């Protein structure tokens, strides 16, 4: 009986480091790449806003108020049009990007840091500590978050810093729950038991064995949370209790433009589109991350290699 | 010669891995005749479960059948429409773990009944009656009350009986049992095996018993196919196999089984590990662990040859002894002649 | 089952209690409610008079005690904005509109999302899957209030099919419900898709296939039924989240006379009593929805209790 030779497809990836493999896969994926690139562009625009803004976002020019965007009969002077005070929309959006993203990143960092720590403690200590922390998290999850946030912001006085604090208080729970369940799952693995038996202390086990396994799921979660915070901040600023003038944030711009919905629709529509694109890219990236860091899903992708094999065999038989 | 129900010929199944596709099953040929009790024995990774799935046309992605044929009474199981028709009517399968192989949120009545109603056009009342009959047949007490229960409400052994009842609802001619007793306690194992044997006798159902346990084979089967490294390495009726195994692997298996009738100081085992897939080892897949391996064994994989009446082995050393060691190419030549 | 129910209700009551305390602290400690009643140049005596009138000159503990006592008697104080009217009554007046809007929205969301998610799951990676997934993601990426404006622009102003504010006409509910429903539908569709993909992979599906049951039947009677259980419970929790948050912005955009719009009005009017009442009522609603959902899940998937 002849042995049919199996030739490995030429596109196989070698045993490179996990990060390189991940990047390699990202470059070959469709939506994941789009998400990552667009998100990076947005972040870049936010970071470099002061340098790439065509105008000063706060500069008012009542003689050119309510100018339409370029594609609606406007001029190159104000590519995305102007608002009721003659301020250039593009510049405002860029400035708003800074603040909106800053808030989102800050909240992810604070809520994520706190939540992950709580989750680690709960997962590792177990028993009462775990029960207490999780109870608190569960109960807080049942709180009407946005409402309370509104009341607090109103009561103390809205500001970007308070916004960050309030959103962080509302946001740590999901990190805690996910971290905890991951830690519990890992602890049960024989791998950890072996490390414990060989005398490694809790800190070492935590650092070398548990944390590395948390990176991918937490990364995915952080990207998702980033998206969610952008939306939450937009809502709060829209209502007037988030970022305050003269600062700009995407939500606030929409709020300020809502009276002109029918006359200068671009003031409401365009900032929303920008929010949409940003959040969508984050979601696409997160979706891709989730799939590509889950070993079971990878198997399915590899199934396509088999088609190559079938063709090879068919060729050899004839 | 009794009719052949299932004919598997030169089956090859491959799976994708990071370093390229590999074969899980390579060139496997076997047949099941009417009312026959065939055992397929091998360790994990030998390809026996994949063969069973392929027999039903159920190889799961990402694995794929890449060569060979499987025929039920001449009809190809790789034709989706034919296979769907044959399954649940002529052939049925039971699996190792009834807890996950039964729908956890569906009543037992429904899981038995849907075959009756959908495949054989029973009415709901008729199906109910028949379901009770089947549960009785598999030895479940108070069947009428248990119809409305869910799988988790049964003990392990009872659940396995339910799965058998589900399979029997199809009134199959062949029952493929993939390690049906592995997940059960020893005492329950014996009961379930006994049940399957009774049912097989009573209803004239052929059984293809996939197992790694030689004890099960000895208890239950008429004929055995021994699998190793994705291939069939020996094929024989059960008593001659145990009395005088041809292939060194089968000999190793038989020798390592604990026995009550012989006094021994220690259990023997076969040194080494089984191959990860069918092509992991050049030449005969067993050669690294084989006490009799010679140079030819290390280079060329031996075909399955009929060395004596109804006794087949894939071994150059045995082939030499029977004067059949000329080079042979292509398919298993003597396949059409006998089972 | 009883024990489970009691435990859940108890936890729920604690949540309501904690939320009430939180809102109490915020409205008394952090801010000066009396300022709402005073002109800018009020004299200290006027201020003290108002404080006394509102009971704010008492020590905090005493105030808290009064507060709790009142809470148990379902007395949430009188509104500042509409003096003489109990805050609770004002909120309860508006609650039905909000509940109605949110219920219509969640039902619509589920009706859209379940087929969408199922289709995507049947052929993962296909263009159909990618399209439906991207659409779902697009839906859930849009801020609700903005979606509301877009809907108003397109369907209200330009096409004139639906009213864009208030709740007077029969079709008034369409646009606000759509604004609420679409992002939620996106979320549920994603959930549906991933649960379904997992479910289709399970061993019992193989058993079903081995019985020769047709694909459509297997998907419908085995996978779908089992998938709906977790997905519908998640949708229930989404409903609670809708009530607790998104409804505020959507009602504002559409001038829908519900609790959400009331919140914004209360903020404008600096009516802390009303705000307090709103928060407590909404928290209670959320707890009720959560408890009911937990219970239903228990009933439908009895393995939870058996486990």
Least CB-CB distance to A147: which of C15, C124, C244? C244
Q: Does residue A148 surpass a pLDDT of 50?
A: yes
Lowest mean pLDDT among A131-140, B266-275, C228-237: B266-275
Angle between helical axes of A145-156 and C259-268 (0-180°, round to 10): 10
Place of tokens 């089947």: B134
**pLDDT tens digit sequence for A174-220:** 999 988 888 887 777 656 667 667 766 666 666 666 777 788 888 88
Q: Which residue has the higher pLDDT, C224 or A212?
A: C224
Region at B149 (left for phi over 0; alpha for psi -120 to 50; beta for the rest): beta
Lowest mean pLDDT among B116-120, C31-35, C94-98, C237-241: C31-35
Residue C256 has which token pair?
A: 């829908």
A227 touching chain C per CB within 8 A: yes
Chain B CB contacts of C217 below 8 Å = 118
Least CB-CB distance to B301: which of A1, A9, A313? A1
What is the number of CB-based contacts under 8 A between chain A and chain B? Answer: 63
Beta pairing class for B305-308 and B311-313:
antiparallel
Asked if C225 and B93 come within 8 Å (Cβ–Cβ), the reply is no
Q: Which of B123, B142, B130, B221 is nearest to B171 (CA)?
A: B130
Residues with Cβ < 8 Å from A168, sequence gap 6 or more? Answer: A106, A107, A110, A111, A114
pLDDT value, residue B114: 93
Chain B CB contacts of A9 below 8 Å = 20
Kindly give the residue spans of alpha helices, DSSP state H, lying in B169-286.
Answer: 186-203, 214-220, 238-243, 248-256
Residue C207 has which token pair?
A: 């058993």
Residue of chain C nearest B154, judged by CA positions: C306
What is the helix (H) or strand (E) element at residue B91, kind and residue range? Answer: strand B91-94
| Whole-number Å distance between alpha carbons of A9 and A302 | 11
Q: Hey, which residues 102-131 in chain C have their CB within 8 Å of chain B?
A: none
Average pLDDT of the segment spanning C46-53 = 72
Asked if B118 and C306 come within 8 Å (Cβ–Cβ), the reply is no
| Whole-number Å distance between alpha carbons of B281 and B301 | 10
- Kindly list the strands in the beta sheet with B37-41, ordered across the sheet, starting from the edge strand earlier in the chain: B91-94, B174-178, B206-211, B37-41, B223-228, B231-237, B311-313, B305-308
C245 touching chain A per CB within 8 A: yes
| Whole-number Å distance between alpha carbons of A148 and A170 | 9
Asked if C27 and A151 come within 8 Å (Cβ–Cβ), the reply is yes
**pLDDT tens digit sequence for B205-226:** 999 999 988 888 988 899 999 9
| Whole-number Å distance between alpha carbons of C88 and C220 | 46
Reduced DSSP (H G I as helix, E B as strand, rest coil) percent helix, strand, coil of chain C, to 5: 80, 0, 20
Structural domains in chain C, CATH included, are 2-86 (no CATH), 88-300 (1.10.3720.10)
**pLDDT tens digit sequence for B73-82:** 989 999 888 8
Mean model confidence pLDDT for chain B: 87
Q: Does residue A299 surpass a pLDDT of 60?
A: no
pLDDT value, residue B331: 43
Chain C CB contacts of B153 below 8 Å = 306
| Percent of chain A clearing pLDDT 90 (strictly above) | 24
Q: Hey, which residues 216-255 in chain C have their CB within 8 Å of chain B?
A: 217, 221-222, 225-226, 229
pLDDT value, residue B335: 37
Query: How many other C-beta atoms are found inside a 10 Å radius of the C-beta of residue C46?
Result: 14
Residue A83 has which token pair?
A: 């608002």
pLDDT value, residue C43: 73
Asked if B18 and A306 come within 8 Å (Cβ–Cβ), the reply is no
Q: Establish how many alpha carbons lie within 13 A of residue B235's alpha carbon, considering only the half-sphere containing its beta carbon.
A: 23
Q: What is the pTM of this model?
A: 0.83
Beta bridge mates, B207: B37, B175
Kindly give the residue spans of alpha helices, DSSP state H, lying in B28-155.
Answer: 48-55, 80-86, 98-101, 108-120, 124-137, 143-146
Average pLDDT of the segment spanning C153-178 = 86
Q: Cβ(B135)–Cβ(B148) under 8 Å?
A: no
Mutate to test the interface with A, among B66, B282, B305, B331 (most CBs of A within 10 A): B66
**pLDDT tens digit sequence for B89-107:** 899 999 999 999 999 989 9
Average pLDDT of the segment spanning A239-261 = 88
| Whole-number Å distance between alpha carbons of B142 and C26 | 63
**pLDDT tens digit sequence for C169-217:** 888 889 999 999 999 999 999 899 989 988 998 999 999 999 999 999 9
Q: Which residue has the higher pLDDT, A74 or A160?
A: A160
Region at B214 (left for phi over 0; alpha for psi -120 to 50; beta for the rest): alpha
Mean model confidence pLDDT for chain C: 85
Report the complex ipTM.
Answer: 0.88
**pLDDT tens digit sequence for C264-277:** 998 888 888 888 88
Q: Cβ(B87)–Cβ(B119) under 8 Å?
A: no
Residue of chain A nearest C287, judged by CA positions: A142
Least CB-CB distance to B22: which of A6, A9, A12? A6
pLDDT value, residue C303: 62
**Using beta carbons and an 8 Å cutoff, which residues of A are at the interface with B?**
1-4, 6-9, 12-13, 299-300, 302-306, 308-310, 313
pLDDT value, residue A298: 47
């Amino acid at each position: 009986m002849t042995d049919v030779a199996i030739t490995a497809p030429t596109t196989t990836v070698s045993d490179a480091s996990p990060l390189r493999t991940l990047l390699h896969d990202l470059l070959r994926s469709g939506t994941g790449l789009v998400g990552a690139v667009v998100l990076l562009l947005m972040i870049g625009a936010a970071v470099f806003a002061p340098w790439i803004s065509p105008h000063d976002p706060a500069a008012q020019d009542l003689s050119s108020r309510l100018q339409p965007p370029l594609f609606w009969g406007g001029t190159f002077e104000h590519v995305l049009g102007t608002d009721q005070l003659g301020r250039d929309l593009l510049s405002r959006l860029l400035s708003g990007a800074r603040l909106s993203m800053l808030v989102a990143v800050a909240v992810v960092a604070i809520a994520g840091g706190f939540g992950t720590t709580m989750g680690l403690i709960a997962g590792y200590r177990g028993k009462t500590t775990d029960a207490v922390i999780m109870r608190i998290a569960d109960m807080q999850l049942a709180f009407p978050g946005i409402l309370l946030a509104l009341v607090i912001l109103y009561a103390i006085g809205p500001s970007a810093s308070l916004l960050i604090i309030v959103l962080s208080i509302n946001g740590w729970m999901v990190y805690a729950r996910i971290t905890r369940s991951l830690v519990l799952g890992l602890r049960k693995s024989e791998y950890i038991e072996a490390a414990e038996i060989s005398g490694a202390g809790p800190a070492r086990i935590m650092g070398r064995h548990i944390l590395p396994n948390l990176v991918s799921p937490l990364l995915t979660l952080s990207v998702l949370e980033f998206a969610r915070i952008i939306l939450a901040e937009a809502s709060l600023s829209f209502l007037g209790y988030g970022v305050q003038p003269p600062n700009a944030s995407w939500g606030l711009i929409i709020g300020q433009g809502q009276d002109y919905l029918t006359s200068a629709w671009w003031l409401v529509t365009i900032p929303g589109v920008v929010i949409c694109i940003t959040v969508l890219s984050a979601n696409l990236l997160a979706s891709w991350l989730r799939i590509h860091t889950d070993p079971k899903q990878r198997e399915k992708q590899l199934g396509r290699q088999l088609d190559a094999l079938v063709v090879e065999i068919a060729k050899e038989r004839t | 010669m009794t009719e052949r129900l299932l004919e598997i010929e030169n089956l090859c199944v491959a799976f994708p891995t990071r370093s390229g596709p590999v074969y899980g099953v390579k060139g496997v040929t076997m047949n099941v005749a009417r009312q026959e009790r065939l055992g397929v024995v091998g360790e994990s990774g030998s390809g026996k479960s994949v063969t069973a799935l392929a027999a039903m046309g159920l190889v799961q992605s990402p694995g794929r059948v890449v060569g060979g044929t499987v025929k039920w009474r001449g009809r190809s199981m790789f034709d989706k429409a034919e296979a769907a028709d044959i399954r649940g009517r002529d052939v049925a399968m039971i699996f190792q773990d009834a807890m996950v192989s039964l729908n956890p949120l569906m009543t037992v009545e429904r899981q038995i009944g849907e075959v009756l109603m959908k495949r054989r056009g029973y009415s709901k009342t008729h199906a109910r009656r028949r379901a009770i009959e089947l549960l009785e047949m598999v030895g479940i007490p108070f069947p009428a009350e248990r119809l409305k229960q869910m799988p988790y409400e049964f003990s392990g052994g009872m659940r396995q009986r339910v799965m058998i009842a589900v399979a029997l609802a199809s009134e199959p001619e062949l029952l493929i049992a993939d390690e049906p007793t592995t997940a059960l306690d020893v005492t329950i194992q014996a009961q379930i095996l006994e049940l399957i044997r009774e049912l097989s006798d009573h209803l004239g159902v052929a059984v293809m018993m996939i197992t790694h346990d030689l004890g099960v084979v000895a208890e239950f089967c008429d004929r055995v196919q021994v699998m190793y490294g994705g291939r069939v390495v020996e094929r024989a009726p059960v008593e001659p196999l145990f009395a005088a195994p041809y292939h060194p692997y089968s000999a190793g298996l038989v020798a390592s089984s604990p026995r009550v009738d012989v006094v021994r100081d220690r259990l023997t085992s076969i040194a080494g590990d089984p191959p990860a897939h069918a092509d992991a080892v050049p030449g005969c897949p067993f050669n690294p662990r084989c006490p009799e391996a010679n140079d030819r064994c290390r280079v060329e994989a031996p075909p399955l040859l009929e060395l004596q009446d109804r006794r087949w082995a894939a071994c150059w050393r045995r082939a030499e002894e029977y004067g059949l060691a000329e080079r042979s190419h292509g398919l298993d030549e003597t396949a059409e002649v006998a089972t | 089952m009883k024990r489970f129910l009691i435990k859940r209700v108890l936890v729920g009551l604690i949540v309501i209690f904690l939320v009430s305390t939180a809102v109490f602290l915020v409205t008394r400690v952090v801010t000066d409610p009396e300022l709402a009643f005073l002109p800018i140049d009020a004299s200290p005596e006027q201020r003290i008079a108002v404080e006394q009138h509102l009971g704010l000159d008492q020590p905090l503990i005493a105030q808290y005690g009064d507060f709790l006592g009142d809470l148990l008697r379902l007395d949430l104080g009188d509104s500042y904005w509409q003096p003489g009217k109990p805050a609770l009554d004002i909120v309860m007046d508006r609650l039905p509109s909000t509940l109605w809007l949110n219920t219509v929205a969640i039902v619509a969301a589920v009706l859209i999302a379940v087929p969408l998610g199922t289709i995507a799951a049947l052929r993962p990676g296909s263009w159909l899957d990618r399209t439906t997934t991207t659409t779902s993601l697009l839906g859930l990426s849009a801020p609700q209030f903005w979606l509301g404006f877009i809907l108003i622009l397109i369907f209200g102003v330009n096409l004139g099919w639906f009213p864009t504010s208030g709740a007077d006409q029969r079709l008034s509910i369409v646009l606000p419900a759509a604004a609420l429903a679409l992002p939620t539908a996106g979320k549920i569709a994603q959930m549906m898709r991933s649960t379904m993909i997992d479910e289709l992979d399970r061993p019992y599906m193989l058993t079903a296939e081995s019985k020769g049951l047709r694909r459509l039947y297997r998907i419908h009677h085995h996978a779908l039924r089992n998938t709906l259980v977790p997905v519908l419970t998640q949708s229930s929790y989404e409903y609670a989240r809708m009530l607790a948050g998104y409804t505020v912005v959507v009602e504002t955009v559409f001038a829908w006379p519900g609790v959400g719009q009331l919140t914004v009005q209360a903020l404008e009017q600096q009516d802390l009593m009303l705000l307090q009442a709103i928060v407590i009522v909404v928290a209670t609603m959320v707890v009720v929805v959560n408890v009911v959902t937990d219970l239903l899940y228990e009933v439908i998937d009895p393995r939870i209790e058996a486990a």
